[in-house]
């Protein structure tokens, strides 16, 4: 094998792998692009690029594996996968398009709620002229990382009162930042709560009745992070009691959301099928190729995940 090139394996479900196969095949750093499932000899593969989950037994076929990259921002599908040896670095996608698209989705969710767009469209069906009022909102963002930080700052620039919560202290212009033991203070005044946390043992099930009872009555929930953050039955209880006024959900414990799931027909729940922000291959590939170059040159990889922390 050419010493300046590596073989890579793509394991992509849900998305079309074609742009990745075509784009990576043109790189001068890559010798061969394999696409899982394959019967080919994978013994020279050193980079494994995954969107998710990884089939059982894949890693066993990769004796020269040196690096695993998620092709999305989230890495929950990789950090919990026992197949990947603990000394193999795992990286993830941090990309301006991914960040922009997530922020835009969250702004859309906040504005649709603030301006009662659903009620206006229902009124239109019946030719009803009803000038519904609207008010200023306090918006809270759980998680102030690449996505949450940008979302919170942008909402602040748009004139919303914005609060944010993270594990460690943060400073963001226009955002009142909370951390650690300050969850209660963060939640209390919120009209809208946006979840942009990673799933870790500390954040799984964090969107539960106990949390909903700490937010202002009638608040609106936007969950764009992961379905495992939300205790589904607790959301139903909170909506049915009026504790929460509604929810916009993009992610679910089981995806696709099963056809008989109560969320589909709930009048206070709006659903999108995990499309809040979808990796743009042409843009994210630049990062994957930069890391390929770094791997070849023996340099540190960008956007490495702390596997112990889980994100
Ligand atoms: P990130 O940069 O790793 O940021 C994570 C943030 O969460 C950080 O601010 C971190 O705090 C905070 N955090 C982690 N554990 C916490 C805890 N126990 N308590 C309080 N805060 C905690 O991640 P990201 O790139 O912003 O992505 C966030 C998530 O969005 C991804 O993991 C993925 O699940 C989801 N996502 C969804 C879609 C979609 O289409 N629906 C698309 C992309 C991503 P510190 O800053 O103090 O470390
Ligand atoms: C999408 O869910 C991502 O994590 O990029």
Q: Is 74 in the pocket of ligand 2 (CB under 6 A)?
A: yes
Q: What are phi and psi of 119, to 5 degrees?
A: -65, -40
The tokens 């919990």 sit on which residue?
Answer: 80
Distance CA 21, CA 13 (A): 13
Does ligand 2 come within 6 angstroms of the Cβ of 227? no
Q: What is the pLDDT of residue 33?
A: 98
**Residue pLDDT, tens place only, 47-93:** 999 999 999 999 999 999 999 999 999 999 999 899 999 999 999 99
Query: Atom 43, ligand 1: which residue's CA is nearest?
Result: 73
Considering the chain, what is the average pLDDT of its residues?
A: 97
pLDDT, one tens digit per residue, over 273-301 is 999 999 999 999 999 999 999 999 999 99
Identify which of 79, 104, 147 to mutate to test ligand 1's pocket (most ligand atoms within 8 A of the CB).
147
pLDDT of residue 157: 98
Distance from the alpha carbon of residue 76 to the mean position of ligand 2, in angstroms: 10
The Å distance, Cα 197 to ligand 1 centre, comes to 4
Determine the distance separating the centroid of ligand 1 and the alpha carbon of 240, expressed in angstroms: 29
Residue with CA closest to ligand 2 atom 4: 74
Gap from CA of 203 to ligand 1 centroid (Å): 10
The residues carrying an active-site annotation are 226, 274
Q: Are 265 and 239 in contact (CB under 8 A)?
A: no
Pocket probe mutation, ligand 2, options 14, 15, 72, 96, max atoms within 8 Å of Cβ: 72
pLDDT band at 27 (very low <50, low <70, confident <90, very high): very high
Starting from the CA of residue 147, give the closest ligand: 1
Q: If you measure from the C-alpha of residue 166 to the centroid of ligand 1, how many angstroms do you get, rounded to a whole number?
A: 9
Q: Is it the case that residue 3 has pLDDT exceeding 90?
A: no
Mutate which of 72, 76, 143 for ligand 1 pocket (most atoms within 8 A of beta carbon):
143
Which ligand number lies closest to the CA of residue 50? 2
On the question of pLDDT at 249 being above 70, the answer is yes
Q: What average pLDDT score do residues 128-135 get? A: 98
DSSP code at position 257:
P
Bridge partners (DSSP) of residue 192 are 139, 220
pLDDT tens sequence across 184-217: 999 999 999 999 999 999 999 999 999 999 999 9
Using the mean position of ligand 1's atoms as its centre, give its distance from the Cα of residue 169 in Å.
Answer: 14
DSSP string, 3-46: TT-EEEEEEE-SS--HHHHHHHHT-TTEEEEEESS--S--TTEE
Cα distance between residue 67 and residue 224, in whole Å: 28
Closest CA to 108 of 235, 277, 236: 277
Rounded Cα gap, residues 192 and 162, in angstroms: 10
Residue ranges lining ligand 1, Cβ < 6 Å? 72-74, 98, 102, 143-148, 165-168, 196-198, 200, 202-203, 224-226, 250-251, 274, 276-277, 311
DSSP states along 121-177: HHHHHTT----------EEEEE--SHHHHHHHHHHHHTT-EEEEEESS---BTTEEE
> For 230-245, what is the mean pLDDT?
98
Instruction: Report whether pLDDT(114) > 80.
Output: yes
The pLDDT of residue 1: 47
pLDDT tens-place string over residues 161-179? 999 999 999 999 999 999 9
DSSP state of 217: T
User: Is 69 strand, coil or helix?
Assistant: strand
Residue with CA at minimum distance from ligand 1 atom 8? 145
Q: What is the pLDDT of residue 80?
A: 86
């Amino acid at each position: 094998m050419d010493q300046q090139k590596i073989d890579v394996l793509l394991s992509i479900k849900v998305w079309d792998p074609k742009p990745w196969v075509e784009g990576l095949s043109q790189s001068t750093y890559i010798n061969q692009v394999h696409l899982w499932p394959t019967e080919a000899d994978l013994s020279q593969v050193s980079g494994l690029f995954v969107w998710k989950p990884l089939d059982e037994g894949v890693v066993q076929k990769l004796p020269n594996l040196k690096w695993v990259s998620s092709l999305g921002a989230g890495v929950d599908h990789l950090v919990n996968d026992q197949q990947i040896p603990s000394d193999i670095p795992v990286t993830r996608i941090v990309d301006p398009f991914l960040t922009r698209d997530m922020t835009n989705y969250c702004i859309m969710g906040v504005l649709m709620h603030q301006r009662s767009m659903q009620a206006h469209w229902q009124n239109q069906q019946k030719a009803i002229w009803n000038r519904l009022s609207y008010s200023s909102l306090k918006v809270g963002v759980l998680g102030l990382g690449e996505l949450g930080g940008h979302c919170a700052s942008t909402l602040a620039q748009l004139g919303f009162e914005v609060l944010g919560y993270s594990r460690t202290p943060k400073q963001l212009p226009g955002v009142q930042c909370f951390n650690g033991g300050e969850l209660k203070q963060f939640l209390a005044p919120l009209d809208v709560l946006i979840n942009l946390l990673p799933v870790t043992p500390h954040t799984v099930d964090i969107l539960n009745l106990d949390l909903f009872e700490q937010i202002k009555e009638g608040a609106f929930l936007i969950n764009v992070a992961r379905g495992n953050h939300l205790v589904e039955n607790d959301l139903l209880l909170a909506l049915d009691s009026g504790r929460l006024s509604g929810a916009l959900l993009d992610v679910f414990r089981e995806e696709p959301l099963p056809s008989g799931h109560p969320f589909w027909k709930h009048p206070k729940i709006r659903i999108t099928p995990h499309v809040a922000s979808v990796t743009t291959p042409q843009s994210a590939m630049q990062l994957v190729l930069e890391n390929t170059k770094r791997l070849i040159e023996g340099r540190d990889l960008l956007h490495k995940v702390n596997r112990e922390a889980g994100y």
